[in-house]
Chains A and B, each alone.
Chain A
Amino acid sequence: MEKYWLLKDDIPDFFEKFPHAGYTEQFGQPNVRIPKEDLAELFDFWKNHSKYPMDMLLDITAVDYLSSDFAEKPNLTGREEDLYSETRFDVVYHFYSVSTNRRIRVITSCGGEHPEVLSSYAWWKAAYYIEREVWDMFGIKFTNHPELRRVLMYEEFEGHPLRKDYPLMGEQPRVKLRNPEQEND
C-alpha cells in the first residue's frame, strides 16, 4: 500500500526539535499534539522542512470537548466551570506536502474565556477562509489574522453554533431586510 502519512519513524528531526510533542497513531494516521505556544515554530518547521516541505494547508478545524468522555480529556464533564477550561477546544491542522505526497496532522489545545491561537495566514494564504470558518463556528480567535469575521453565518448572528453549549434547536430572530441603497459592498 502506498504511503500517505508521515509516521513517527519518518520524522525523527521533528521530535528532536519538539521533544515535548505528543504522538498517537490511529488507523495508520499520526496525531501530533503540541502546545499552542509552539505553533509559530511549528509552522516555520513544516513550511521549510528540508525533506517534506508542507507547501499546502489542507484544512483547519476544531473540536469542542465540553462534556465529552474522550480518553484524552478526562477532566471535561460538561460542568459549568468547564466552559472556560483551558483544554476545552482542540484545533486540528492538516498539512500536505505536494512534492512528496505526504500528510501530517497537528493538534493543539486552547480554551479559556476567549480561546485564541496564532493564525497560520502568514505561512499559508489558504488559512484566510478556513480560519474565518473556525472563528464563525467555534469562536476561536486567530491572532494576526488580517480580517477575522464571520463567513457562513450572518453578521447579526449571536454565538457560535458548533459549540457544545449552543442550544441544540436554538433559533435566532430572522435577519432584517437590508436596504440596497444603504449597503456599501
Chain B
Amino acid sequence: MSEDKILDNVITTRMDKFIGWARSYSLWQYVFGTACCAMEFMSVSSSHYDTDRFGAAMPRYSPRQSDMLMIVGTITHKQAPVLRRVWEQMAEPKYVVAVGACAVSGGFYRNYAVVQGADRVIPVDVYVPGCPPRPEMILDGIMALQEKIRNSKQYL
C-alpha cells in the first residue's frame, strides 16, 4: 500500500479528543425534575425541540444508567440529601446541568425551605438561567456541556 492511500484512509487525533467527541454525543440523562421547569423540559426532550439531535435523547429512569444529571427545578433543604444520593449513584464520568433560576441560585425563593443553588450540594458543570428557561436555552446548555466535554481531559 502506498503512503498516499494510507493518508486517505487514516485520521490521526489525540486520545482525549477522540474519547471526548464520543462521550459528548452519547449523553444519557437523568432528569431530576422537581418543579415547573420540568414542564418546560418535557417540550425540550420531545419531538418539537428534540434533544436527540445532540445525542442526548434518552432520559433514563435510574441514575446508575446515566451520565448527565439535569436538575430541573427547585431544590429544597429536605430534598438536598436525595439529590446528593442520586448524584453519588451515577457512574463516572458524570456531568451536571442546573436548569432554571432555582437550581442555579435558589431563584426568588430566599427563605427557610430552599437551597440557594444546587451547587451547594453537588458540583455543577453548566448553569442554564431563566424562569423557566426557553427550550433554546436548555439546548444551548447541552451544547455548552458538549463543548466542555470535548475540551476536557478524559479519564478512562
Residue-wise, chain A 164-177 has the 8 Å CB interface mask toward B (1 for contact) of 00101111101111
Tell me which residues across on chain A come within 8 A of B143, comparing CB atoms: none
Per-residue B-contact encoding for A148-164, CB less than 8 Å = 1, 0 else? 00001110010001000
Task: Verify if A20 is at the interface (C-beta below 8 Å from B).
Answer: no
Contacts of B60 in A (CB 8 A): none
B112 pairs with A175, CB closer than 8 A: no
Mostly, the A contact residues are loop
Chain B residues with a Cβ under 8 A of chain A: 77-78, 80-81, 84-85, 110-113, 115-116, 120-121
- CB pair B111–A178 under 8 Å, yes or no, is no
A-B contact pairs, 16 of them (CB 8 A): A153-B112, A153-B113, A154-B77, A161-B112, A166-B112, A168-B111, A169-B111, A170-B111, A171-B112, A172-B112, A174-B115, A174-B120, A174-B121, A175-B80, A175-B81, A177-B85
A175 to B113, CA, bound (A): 11
A152, A169, A174, A177: the one contacting B110 at CB < 8 Å is: A169
Range, interface on chain A: 10 to 19
- The secondary-structure label for the interface of chain B is loop
How far apart are A183's CB and chain B's nearest CB, in angstroms? 11
Instruction: Flag if A177 contacts B81 (CB, 8 Å).
Output: yes
Nearest CB of chain A from residue B27's CB, rounded to whole Å: 27
Question: Which chain B residues lie closer than 8 Å to A171 at the CB level?
Answer: 112, 116
In Å, the complex CA distance between A58 and B115 comes to 32
Sorted from nearest, which 5 A-B pairs have the closest CB atoms? A161-B112, A154-B78, A169-B110, A177-B81, A175-B81
Q: How many inter-chain residue pairs (CB < 8 Å) link A and B? A: 35
Residues of A within 8 A of B77 (CB): 154, 157, 172, 174-175
Closest CB in chain B relative to A135 CB, distance in Å: 16
Contacts of B84 in A (CB 8 A): 177
Contact in complex: B80, A174 (CB < 8 Å)? yes
Contact check, B85 vs A175: say whether CB atoms are below 8 A apart. no
B81 touches A178 (CB 8 A): yes
List A contacts of B110 (CB < 8 A). 169
Further 12 A-B residue pairs, CB within 8 A, beyond A157-B112, A161-B113, A175-B81: A153-B112, A166-B112, A168-B111, A169-B110, A170-B112, A171-B112, A171-B116, A172-B112, A174-B77, A174-B80, A175-B78, A177-B84
Q: How far is the CB of B23 from chain A (nearest CB, A)?
A: 29
> A178 CA to B78 CA in the complex, in Å?
12
Distance between Cα atoms of A174 and B115 in the complex (Å): 8
Q: CA A169 – CA B78 in complex, angstroms?
A: 17
| Residues of chain B contacted by A177 (CB below 8 angstroms) | 81, 84-85
The interface residues of chain B lying within 8 Å CB-to-CB of A175 are 77-78, 80-81
